[in-house]
Amino acid sequence: MTHAPVQLGEAARRRAAWIAAMRLGRLAFYSGPLPWLEVGAEEASAPDEAYGVVCAPFRLEEAADYRTTLRTWFRLVRVGGHLIIAVSHAFLHDRQLALPSRWNPRQRRLYTPGSLMEEVEEALAPNSYRVRQLSDLDDGYDYDLESDHLPIGRSDVVLVLEKIAPVRWQLALTPYERAAQPIPDRPDYQFEPPRTRVEVEMAMQCRQVLILKLDHLGDFIMGVAALERVRALFQGAEITLVVGSWNVELAQGLGLADHIIAFDVFPRNSSEEVVDVPGKGALFQATVSAEYDIAIDLRTDPDTRPLLRLVKAGLRAGLGSRSRFPFLDIFLPVDSSHSEAEGAREFLFDHHAFAAQGSAKPTAHRLVSSAATVERDCAIVWGPYRTLRAGRYIFEPHLDVEPGAGGLLRLDIALDAERVLERLVDGASPVRLPFTVEAEGASFEFRIWTVDGAPALDFSFFGGRLIRQGAAAVLHQSESSLLLMELVAIRLQRTGVLAEIDAP
Amino acid sequence: MTDVVISPFSNSDIRDWPLNHYADLVGLLLASDPEIRVSVIGTSTQKLRAHEIVRAHPAPRVANDCGRLSWPEVVDLIKASACVISNNSGVGHLSGHLGVPTVCVFGGSHQRHEWRPLGASVMLVSRVIGCSPCQLDHVSGSPYGKACLREIAPETVSDAAVRVMARAASKDERNVWMEGDAAAVERADEPN
């Protein structure tokens, strides 16, 4: 028979032959006296777990829904019984890598042992079965027969599953899952009632725009680039610009705003008069009383940001973090406080921040070390093991040495226990030890040692002063306000604002 | 046929919606529309977990495609799909980037404002919960068993998927949202 599909009757004959062979051949072990069923038409109505053997030769390859089919067959098997599945082997029976089958027009899939197992693992719950046999059956197979002939001999994959009793434990999803212990359903605290929110991204169309630029002449000049960006971004909008009275003429000359409002939240000369931004709030609210789609504060210093809260606006934008200004919808979280990382810093340590060898005597304000009693094989003073940020530092130990005593001390600085600097001192002049921290988080240590071959010195140690150089790593005022405007543009035109659907 | 792609795995288990929720979601999707077919995608190493999602569902309508597709094939599949449902993961970002209707089930470990997939075609589903953001990487660290995702019901995600597909079908331009999506805002089609 060449190039001709087998007749459907041939399929039935093949199944019958397979069942007969099963009872005699290598699978006979599984076909004992237990009640058994060859799957066909009646399994849908058959009772659960009624059969010791359920046998399914060449059925799975014709099933459209292999998952449901496998589950149905497996349902019929009782615990300890077997589901025996045979399918045509793609490499032996079909001898092809893609459908349609040359021999069976009803065949929907090609099988190998691997693909058969994959379907079983997909369809049946883990640990509901054990695989007792998975093998190619090629008894009597004629390997010399050309591939366009119907195969002679067995050309199947056979799988035998034993149904097992349910196990009491569950598979862990990941090795990181915590051990079985009571886990609270959710936190016992809440800031608002728990709910599931569904949100979408909304771009905003702003027709009424309010800009605050309330600072002085130089600040205003440095903000011109951002104002130009405002005009370009909101081409069709009506722009209202609020400035100090001293900048009104300049603002009018720029021609970037449709309306200009004068409001002096600062004194014209801040160095001579008291600044009271909160005290101007009510007057500001009365002066800037219209409604806007968006209000933007272009001042870099954060002191005017609270005025935004007083504006009637759909969106509020400014520099600074939302944790500090929760009313900001669009915020560029740059540090404009001129503090922390950017400033020069001085840290004072008293002698309590340091440890000393036993010969050194602590008093209320100092450590006293005597040349006569000092141990020479270890440091005399060490500490304070403070974690430092990257940057340039100077450490100035407060050391009182009896001048002209003729001895020496060795001072050193270590970072993460590696010496980076040492200096011999005889007490003649104050000591300043400059060093650089390259890696953020290095542990800083200062130590005082004796010097080999030289007499020690009597000294008092009071602690020291650590100075950090200011980091000149700030944005220019004009850059900060321009970056804010770019963020506003991105938010309005690209990333949008999240809006909740069906919000409570 | 309406092809829905489910990408249920991220690089961090704290971001993954529970498998049983995904399994229930598939059932809801199939029931919502007889034309829907589902493809669950992931890597070959994620296939065992994906079995848990597809197991209860008919094979002709729900495929476990983990490990079966090359990356270019995944991209083509996403482009051709009616909807992509994902966690906070790369496929969600890609889908939003491509303008494909996307439902992102976003856990509480990270801030959605910082990490959400962008795009007007994206619908974000997340849980309001007091312990978010915890910034954890693994479920084992969660003192509440990932309640931020566990408490997101499959029905909510299914509704979002139906909604996001309906919008895409009703408007040719996928990035235009109909009125009523949110009371206070409106979509701007032209630059401001």
* Residue B171 confidence class, pLDDT cut points 50, 70, 90: low
Residue B183: the pLDDT is 32
Domain A8-163 coded CATH 3.30.110.70: no
For residue A337, pLDDT beyond 70? no
Q: How confident is the model at residue A334 (pLDDT cuts 50, 70, 90)?
A: confident
For residue B75, the distance in angstroms to the closest alpha carbon of chain A comes to 22
For residues A170 and A380, the model is more confident at A380
Which residues in chain B are closer than 8 Å to A501, comparing Cβ atoms? 123, 163, 181-182
Whether A495 sits inside 8 A of B153 (CB atoms) is: no
List the single residue in B with minimal CA-CA distance to A121.
Answer: B51
In this complex, the residue of A122, A190, A495 whose CB is nearest that of residue B118 is A495
A306 Cα to chain B: minimum distance (Å): 23
User: Among A65, A173, A314, whose Cβ lies nearest the Cβ of B49?
Assistant: A173
Angle at A474 between CA A472 and CA A479, to 5 degrees: 140
pLDDT at residue A503 greater than cutoff 90: no
- How far apart are alpha carbons A475 and A473 in whole angstroms? 7
Which pLDDT value is given to residue B47? 95
Q: Minimum mean pLDDT among A46-60, A178-192, A377-391, B80-94: which range?
A: A178-192
Q: How confident is the model at residue A182, as a pLDDT?
A: 66
Using an 8 Å CB-CB cutoff, list chain B residues near A330: none
Closest to A329 (Cα-Cα) out of A311, A342, A341, A346: A311
Closest approach of B175 to chain A, Cα-based (Å):
10
Of A133-137, A200-204, B17-21, B150-154, the least confident: A200-204
pLDDT of residue B74: 96
Distance from A155 to chain B by nearest Cα, in Å?
26
> Can you tell me the distance from the alpha carbon of A120 to that of A173, in angstroms, rounded to the nearest whole number?
20
At how many degrees (to 10) do helices B90-97 and B71-80 cross? 50
Sheet strands (E) in A320-417:
330-332, 345-350, 355-356, 361-362, 367-369, 381-388, 391-401, 409-415
Pick the residue from chain A with its C-alpha nearest to B20. A173
| Residue A329 CB partners (closer than 8 Å, separation 6+) | A315, A316, A317, A497
What confidence category does residue A319 fall into, taking pLDDT thresholds of 50, 70 and 90? very high
pLDDT tens, A344-402?
A: 788 999 999 999 998 888 899 999 998 888 888 789 999 999 999 888 999 999 999 87
Residues of B in contact with A495 (CB under 8 A): 118
Looking at the predicted structure, is the pLDDT value of residue A478 above 90?
yes
* Mean pLDDT computed over A258-282: 88
Q: Do B13 and A123 count as a contact with CB atoms less than 8 A apart?
A: no
DSSP, collapsed to helix, strand or coil, labels residue A308 as: helix
Take residue A403 and report the two structure tokens written for it.
């001048």
Q: Which residue has the higher pLDDT, A261 or A335?
A: A261
Residue A375 confidence (pLDDT)? 86
Cβ-Cβ contacts under 8 Å, A67 against chain B: 54-55, 57-59
How does residue B179 score in pLDDT terms, banded at 50, 70 and 90?
Answer: very low
What distance in Å separates the CA atoms of residue A461 and residue A368, rounded to the nearest whole number? 7
For residue A89, give the DSSP letter: B
pLDDT tens per residue across span A460-471 = 999 999 999 876
**CATH architecture observed for domain A208-338+490-501:** 3-Layer(aba) Sandwich (3.40)
Domain with CATH 3.40.50.2000 in chain A: 208-338+490-501
DSSP state of B178: P
B51 chain-A contacts, CB cut-off 8 A: 121-122
Residue-range domain boundaries for chain B: 2-170
CATH 2.60.120.260 residue window(s) in chain A = 345-468
Note whether A314 contacts B131, CB cutoff 8 Å. no
Min CA distance, B37 vs chain A (Å)?
13
How confident is the model at residue A322, as a pLDDT? 86
pLDDT digits (tens, 9 = 90+) for A101-144: 888 889 999 999 999 999 999 999 999 999 999 999 998 999 99
pLDDT tier at B174 (50, 70, 90 boundaries)? Answer: very low
Q: What is the mean pLDDT of chain B?
A: 88
Please state, in angstroms and rounded to a whole number, the distance separating the CA atoms of residues B181 and A500: 8
Contact status, residue B51 vs residue B70, Cβ threshold 8 Å? no
CB contact under 8 A, B49 and A196: no
Q: Using CB atoms, which residue from B54, B118, B184 is nearest to A122? A: B54
Rounded to an integer, what distance in angstroms lies between the CA atom of residue A335 and that of residue A337?
5
* Cβ-Cβ contacts under 8 Å, A313 against chain B: none
Which tens digits make up the pLDDT trace of A48-93? 998 999 999 999 999 999 999 999 999 999 999 999 999 999 999 9
CATH number for the domain whose boundaries are A345-468: 2.60.120.260
- A499 and B184: CB-CB below 8 Å? yes
Tokens encoding B134 = 């915890």
pLDDT class for A39, splitting at 50, 70, 90? confident
Of A20-29, A211-220, B121-130, the poorest mean pLDDT is in A20-29
Average pLDDT score over residue span A246-272:
92
Could you report how far apart the first and last alpha carbons of chain B are, in Å? 38
Domain B2-170 indexed as CATH 3.40.50.2000: yes
pLDDT score of B140: 82
Q: How far is A248 from chain B (nearest CA, A)?
A: 26
pLDDT of residue A340: 58
Residue of B nearest to A201 (CA): B120
Looking at residue A472, what is its pLDDT? 63
For the segment B13-42, the average pLDDT, to the nearest whole number, is 96
Q: Which of B152, B153, B182 sits opposite A500 (nearest CB)?
A: B182
Whether residue A28 is predicted with pLDDT greater than 80 in this model: the reply is no
Residue of A nearest to B47 (CA): A122
Contact of A334 with A474, CB cutoff 8 Å: no
Mark yes or no for CB contact A197/B126 under 8 Å. yes
- Chain B residues in contact with A192 (beta carbon < 8 A): 128
Determine the average pLDDT of the residues in B152-158: 98
CA atoms of A218 and A270, how far apart (whole Å)? 13
Identify the CA nearest to A367 among candidates A340, A396, A398, A336: A398
Contact predicate A114/A86, CB 8 Å = no
The separation between CA B142 and the C-alpha centre of its own chain, rounded to angstroms, equals 22
Residue B122 CB contacts under 8 Å (≥ 6 apart), including other chains = A200, A201, B92, B95, B96, B102, B103, B104, B116
Which residues are CB-contacts of B134 (< 8 A; sequence separation ≥ 6)? Answer: B108, B109, B141, B142
pLDDT at residue number A455: 87
H-helix or E-strand spanning residue A74: helix A66-76
The residue among A279 and B171 whose pLDDT is bigger is A279
- Mean pLDDT across the stretch A461-485? 88
**Contact status, residue A268 vs residue A291, Cβ threshold 8 Å:** no
Asked if B128 and A193 come within 8 Å (Cβ–Cβ), the reply is yes
* Mutation site, A115, A183, A199, interface B, largest B CB count within 10 A: A199
